[in-house]
Structures are given as C-alpha cells and as structure tokens.
Structure 1
Amino acid sequence: MKINTTLPSHYLAYVKSIPLLQKRTGKKRTTQKQSLHPFWAIVQKEVSDHIGSWRFIILLAMITLICFGSLYIAVNNLPEALANAKDPNRDFVFLKLLSASDGTLPPFHILLGFLGPLLGIGMGFDAVNSEQNSGTLVRLMAQPIHRDYFINAKFTGALMVIGTLFMALSFLITGLGILVTGQMPMPEEFLRIIGFIILCIIYVAFWLNLSILFSVKFKRAATSALTAIAVWLFFTIFYQILVGMAAKALVSPGLSRTGYRVQKLLVTLLDIAPNRLFTDATTTILVPSVRSLGPLSIQQMQGAIPSTLSLGDSLMVVWPQLTGLIAATVACFAFSYYLFMRKEIRS
C-alpha cells in the first residue's frame, strides 16, 4: 500500500513514520521499532503546531506579562505581610507570592481563573472543523489510522503544552522567590504549589475539551469560537447575577436576605460554575488558613482558633471542587469523543 502523497506536508512527514505503513512498504522490523506510533506522531505534530502558532504566542505573552505583574505586586507587599503577627499564613512565604495582592491587580490564581479559559478556548476551538474544512481530515482518515487516534491526539497535544506552560510559570515564580527572599520553600509549600499546578491544568483542560466539543459540533471555526466565548462570559459575569436574583426569589419573604439559609443557597448554586470551583480550590490550597468554603453557623464558629490546616486537611476541604472539575472535564471529552466517532467527515 502506497502512502497518500496528497496529504499536506506537515502531516505527510509524520504519516511516513507510522509503523503500519512501514510494514506494508517492506521496511525492516528494526526500523518499525524505532518509528513513532500513529497516535504519538499526530501528538508531536499538534505540539509543534501549537508552539509555532501566533495564537499561542500571543496568549503566552499575555499570561506571562500578567504573571510577572502579579509577582511584582506580591514581592512589594511581602515584607508587610510577613510582619503581620496575627496572620496565620505568614510562614508560607512562597504561597504568598501566588496569593498576595494590594488591590492593584488580583492575585495570580484569580487572574488565571479569568484568563485560563481563553488559553483553552484558543487552543481547541478549531481543532476539528478547520481540518475538515481544509480537507486534511478526510485524507488523513484515508490512511491506516484509527479515528480515535485523531481526537485523542488533539486533546493530548494541547494538554502537554498547557501542562508545560503552567509548570514553567509556577517554577519560575518559585525560583524568583528564592532569589528575592533567600529562603528555600518548605516541603509542604512545594507540595501545595504542585497541587496548584494540577488544578490549573485540570481547569484549562475543561475549557479545552469544551472548545473541542464545539469544534466537532459546528462546521465553522468562528461559530465554535463564539459559542465557547459566550459560555465563558456567561459563567464569569452573568451567572452570578442570575444566581443572586434566583436566590432572592426562592427565599420566603419572612426570612432575612442575609441569613444562613440564603448564603447556603447562594454558595450551592454558585458552585456549579467552573470558575468558582477553580477559585475556591486554589484559594484553599494556597491559603492554608482557609477552613471552610461555605457559610458557617454560630454554633460551628464557637471555639474556632485561627490556625493553618495541613495539606491533607486542605485537600479534604477542596475534594468536592476537585471532583467537580474532573467530572466536568471528563464529561466534555467523552461527549466530544462520542460525537466525533459518529461524525460524517466526508461531507
């Protein structure tokens, strides 16, 4: 079987390395073992496309600029924060670099909760429909490649780039913190920073899967991009307004609007939003003194002493938010996988 030479050059270079094609063209077995698997060949192509695209470079520059802006503000306010004897988190110097702010800019984790979805949407809104519109998808599927390799490689390649980006930014901030403070992070601080990185990757992966889902569903890339941005704006701006209006309408007239039940209802409804789940989880990981994410009654607050929680206790607090983000990410990917496997790609 001959290789389809009508493929674009950036795909043809990787398809030539597929073991199955080499086997059918009479290559030696030793060469087959050294060649790339079809899945990893497409992943490698996706990673190189993302890194070399102007879209990713612009998003990377924007996130990096805001990252260093937040870091500059956090470093300037670090001496004042460490001098506060009443602050139970004053010993966690490196966590304050990611969570401290003077009000000029939000903390780093809050800014990531706002800008992270743009990174995921920008890397996935045209993952499938652009390949189909250009005719590349039909010619690629004509090769001896399983269809699920394509959709899985699209997600894996983008996720590898996202994971590398957040790991590099977080470790860069940690390294600059070592140079500024002259201290080394404690083991618990390092583990909390790793947990923060994992939360960032899961959060952006949700928006990546959502944009890939719209890319499979809609034929035009502009439609999928606008739909994904509309969902992001809805949960970021309008959802809180609608929840506040609904909570006031559902509460009985005789109950105070600032009561415990009203606040509990608001927290329950707001926890549906992915950005709220991410903000609550990262705040608990980066601020060890956070003991609860919902309103507390007077009975629950009696006898409470301001102190920090261990990493295990903080993970217990954020476990519902973490499982919610993972479930939403898996659900979006499963739905996009199902639609792509049943999609007619020849039209």
Structure 2
Amino acid sequence: MKAIIDSLKSHSSTSSGVQPHPFWVMVRKEIADHIRSWRFLVLLVLVVLTFWGTTSVSMANLRQVVGNANDPDSLFLYLKLLTTTEGSLPPFHVFLSFLGPLLGISLGFDAVNSEQQNGTLTRIMAQPVFRDNLLLSKFVSALTLVGSLLLSLSLLMIGGGILITGVLIEVEELIRILGFTFLCTIYVGFWLGLSILLSILFRQGATSALTAIGIWLFFTVFYQIIVNLVAEALVPAESALSQQAILRYNELLLNLLRLAPSQLYTDATTTLLMPSVRSLGPITMEQMAGAIPSPLPLKESLMIVWPQLSGLIAATVLCFALSYYLFMRREIRS
C-alpha cells in the first residue's frame, strides 16, 4: 500500500498535466498486488491446468461426438469442447463451479481487515480519496482480473480449436461462449463480494476465510441434502400424489434448490453451453408430445437463462451493498 500512498501524494501535489483519477491508481495497484501474490498464482495454475486437462479430453473424444445424429448439439463444435467428457474428468464448467468460489474467496477474504491490521487503512484515508473508492477499487480490480483470466482461456480454446480442426467458429457459438465467460465472472464476483463483506465484519483474516469457506461448503454439499430431507419428511410418497401435485412438488423443490448460487450457475451454464436444453423445470408428457429434438435459438436460450443470471447479479449487488453500508459507517481509526 506504500505505492498507493506515494501515487496519491504525487497526484495531489501535481497541478499541471493530465493525472489519473485516484480510483484508477488504486485499481492498478490492487491488480499488481494480486498478480504478485502466491495464492493467486497457485489458483491460476489450478484453473489453467484444469482447463488444459478438460480441453485435451474433449479434443481426444471430439470425433466420437461431432456428427452424432442422436445428439442435437453435435453441430456446435466449440461448445462441445467445453461440455464433452469421457468420464475421467468432468467438463470445465463443472470444475469451475468448485474452483470459482475458491478464487473469489482468496481474492477478497482479507481485503479490508488486513489493511486495518497493518495500519495502512488510516494512511490511505488521510489522502484526498473518498472512502467508497477504496472498497470499490478492491472489488473492481479483483473482478477485472478474474474476467480477463476467463476471457483469455476462452479465446485460447477458440484459437486452439481453429488451429487443430480448421473449422471457423459460428457467431452463435461465439456469443454463447462469451455469455458463459460473463456468467462465470458474475458467479466468482458473488463469492468475491461475500468475502469482502466478511472481511469487514471480522477483524481477523483467518476468521473471514473460514467463514466464507464454510458458507461455500454449506451451499455446495449440505444445502441440497437438507432440502431433500425436509421435502421427504413433509411430503407424502409420490405414488399417493396426482400428476399435477407431483409437478408442483418438483417445482417447489427446484425453487428451493435455486436459492444456492451453485445451482443458479449450473442451470445457466447448462442452458448456454447445451442449446438442446429446452426447460430447466419439470414438464409433462403432453408438453413433450410432438417436440422435435433440435437446438434452441440463442434468443430462446437467453430467455431461459435470464432468471438465473438476474439472481446471481442481484446476490452480488446485495453483498457489495451490505459491504458498502458497513464500511461507510465503520470507525477506521480504532
């Protein structure tokens, strides 16, 4: 943080020439700190190795799935690179549902409490900067870094696919892959906002990190088990229910499961990367009658995925809004 303070001092003391805004000075310094930190480098290596492993498996099995008449998604070559698996490794978007929260938590669990423990928070606030710029710079810098990483991996996959197969990517595939990248960035941004919120609530970085990991494990592992146990205890056997009651029961169960961010992410990525997915909820045999197995247009897939995307954005904004409220009312001199 000494570099930030020196940059802010030079910015305030220079009266001539075009100077960058203090907010962007802090953003650039936060990005540089993340890039030089060992925890980000370790997670970067894990994400890159995971991407390389899943893409290699997809490339090796691409001939078996492309052109398959029983698969309506077989025409989308580059989407198959993100979804094809042979069973030894899950697809990349499944891996990212586990690595994404760890990436967001690692970038934000000590964003504020470490500054206060090191005594740099009061020194930064003594400079001509607004308090909210400090919090916003930490969120924007980490989210920019994550978005750049995921976009680079997606473009690398597209470029490698063109060099190996010689097939140009379609516009719809490109939009779906870019939408997948944006969705993954928002998903990581939720855990980043939650970890920043916990770094404001707790003074110790270890406490905020353990709390964030505990919340992630609860929603990833235990939440689905709890929902299923409660539903089985309160609802009678499905054989005693009518068809409409079973549909309402399954719809209620899915809505409860979608309170977990991981479920929203899974539903959204499945819809974007598999155009043949027509619905994320239970459907009757009458609704399936006469349906031809074919890919949905991009507009229809976006309409299906919009509630999940809105939920992730709303949860991210809520976490950051709570962080903003608590940080603006916090006494930083103690």
| TM-score, length basis structure 2 | 0.96
Mapping of 1:47-86 within 5 angstroms? 47-86=31-70
**Is 1:234 matched with 2:227?**
no
Mapping of 1:55-134 within 5 angstroms? 55-134=39-118
Give SS of 2:69's match: coil
Mapping of 1:254-265 within 5 angstroms? 254-255=240-241, 259-265=246-252
In the alignment, residue 195 of structure 1 is paired with which amino acid?
A: G
Identity %: 56
Tell me if the contact between 1:10 and 1:45 (Cα under 8 Å) persists in the aligned partners.
Answer: yes
**Is 1:217 matched with 2:201?**
yes
Tell me if the contact between 1:14 and 1:45 (Cα under 8 Å) persists in the aligned partners.
Answer: no
**Is 1:249 matched with 2:242?**
no
Deviation at 1:346, TM superposition (A): 1.0
- Aligned equivalents of 1:273 and 1:100: distance in 2? 25
Give SS of 2:66's match: helix
Task: Name 1:4's counterpart in structure 2.
Answer: none
Give SS of 2:61's match: helix
**Is 1:299 matched with 2:286?**
yes
- Aligned equivalents of 2:135 and 2:278: distance in 1? 40
Task: Name 1:311's counterpart in structure 2.
Answer: 298
When the two structures are aligned, how many residues end up with a matched partner?
Answer: 331
Tell me if the contact between 1:89 and 1:287 (Cα under 8 Å) persists in the aligned partners.
Answer: yes
In the alignment, residue 53 of structure 2 is paired with which amino acid?
A: G
Tell me if the contact between 2:268 and 2:309 (Cα under 8 Å) persists in the aligned partners.
Answer: yes
CA distances 1:110-143 after superposition (whole Å, capped 9, x unpaired): 1111110000000000000000000000111112
Task: Name 1:159's counterpart in structure 2.
Answer: 143
In the alignment, residue 2 of structure 2 is paired with which amino acid?
A: S
- Aligned equivalents of 2:308 and 2:78: distance in 1? 23
Tell me if the contact between 1:132 and 1:345 (Cα under 8 Å) persists in the aligned partners.
Answer: yes
1:14 to 7, 26, 29: 7
Give SS of 2:206's match: helix
**Is 1:334 matched with 2:334?**
no
Tell me if the contact between 1:235 and 1:274 (Cα under 8 Å) persists in the aligned partners.
Answer: yes
- Aligned equivalents of 1:204 and 1:17: distance in 2? 34
| Aligned-residue CA RMSD (Å) | 1.5
Task: Name 2:309's counterpart in structure 1.
Answer: 322
Give SS of 1:48's match: helix
CA distances 1:139-163 after superposition (whole Å, capped 9, x unpaired): 1111221111100111011111011
Deviation at 1:262, TM superposition (A): 3.2
In the alignment, residue 33 of structure 2 is paired with which amino acid?
A: D
- Aligned equivalents of 2:236 and 2:39: distance in 1? 50
- Aligned equivalents of 2:200 and 2:242: distance in 1? 47
Task: Name 2:265's counterpart in structure 1.
Answer: 278
Most deviating of 76-85 and 125-134 = 76-85
Deviation at 1:256, TM superposition (A): 8.1
Tell me if the contact between 2:113 and 2:199 (Cα under 8 Å) persists in the aligned partners.
Answer: yes
- Aligned equivalents of 1:17 and 1:43: distance in 2? 16
In the alignment, residue 131 of structure 2 is paired with which amino acid?
A: R
- Aligned equivalents of 1:70 and 1:175: distance in 2? 16
Tell me if the contact between 1:213 and 1:335 (Cα under 8 Å) persists in the aligned partners.
Answer: yes
- Aligned equivalents of 2:220 and 2:90: distance in 1? 15
Give SS of 1:332's match: helix
Tell me if the contact between 1:17 and 1:36 (Cα under 8 Å) persists in the aligned partners.
Answer: no
1:38 to 9, 18, 22: 22
In the alignment, residue 43 of structure 1 is paired with which amino acid?
A: V
Deviation at 1:103, TM superposition (A): 1.2
In the alignment, residue 162 of structure 1 is paired with which amino acid?
A: V
In the alignment, residue 94 of structure 1 is paired with which amino acid?
A: Y
Tell me if the contact between 2:5 and 2:123 (Cα under 8 Å) persists in the aligned partners.
Answer: no
Listed as ranges, the gaps of 5+ residues in structure 1 are: 1-7
Listed as ranges, the gaps of 5+ residues in structure 2 are: none
